[in-house]
Amino acid sequence: MSGLISRKEKLSVVITDMTGKVIYESSAHIYEIGENSVELGQLEGVSAGIYLITLSGDKVLVNRRLNILK
């Protein structure tokens, strides 16, 4: 996953399935201004489906749909 950040932020990533069960959670990391990416390599055992990915920080909350195809 990648995206642009307009200011330096400490963000954490949480991925949940459609029932709200957390399937991935990262500790907060500091991301610099500009383009950043998050490696989600620990999702290898996850079934195909639709998930919700949430990036959250002190002044940021972003929710996006994540489609996993296998």
CB atoms closer than 10 angstroms to residue 70: 7
| Mean pLDDT for the stretch of residues 14-39 | 87
Q: Which of 62, 58, 16, 18 is nearest to 36 (CA)?
A: 62
The model's pTM is 0.78
- pLDDT of residue 1 exceeding 60, the answer is no
Residue 42, classed as helix, strand or coil, is: helix
Domains and CATH numbers, the chain: 2-68 (2.60.40.3080)
pLDDT confidence tier of residue 43, bands split at 50, 70 and 90: confident
Type of residue found at 31: Y
Largest CA distance in the chain: 35
Q: Residue 3: its pLDDT value, please? A: 61
